[in-house]
Amino acid sequence: MVSLYLEYFEITGDEYTLIPIIVGGYDDLPDLVEATVTTEISPNAGELVKLIRHDLVDVRDGMLSLQLGNEEFVRGVSGSVWFRLENSGQEEIEIITATNAGK
């Protein structure tokens, strides 16, 4: 059994986020494992809501490695950033980019 705990984070009510879970060093995991995910929500001081979900999770080899870089930024002037994404796995990935705040 492997227990993992994520650090505390917040998201707003109209937001979503993908939280990757990396389990390193276990080369003997089967292709499909049982997982229990517990989400704790504290909507108000002294209140706690626990959402507990049991599921089967695919185990895969490989990972994505992301590097971000930028030129020097100057206030009030346009700047440039770059990224490098390496896919060491066998599955194809799709990258969607946008400019002008996605408009």
* Mean pLDDT, 10 residues at a time, the chain of 103 residues: 68 74 72 83 87 83 75 81 79 74 61
- C-alpha span between 61 and 88 (Å, rounded): 8
Can you tell me the distance from the alpha carbon of 61 to that of 59, in angstroms, rounded to the nearest whole number?
7
pLDDT of residue 37: 78
Q: Look at residue 20 in the predicted model and tell me its pLDDT.
A: 66
Residues with Cβ within 8 Å of residue 60, at least 6 apart in sequence: 89, 91
pTM attached to this predicted model: 0.41
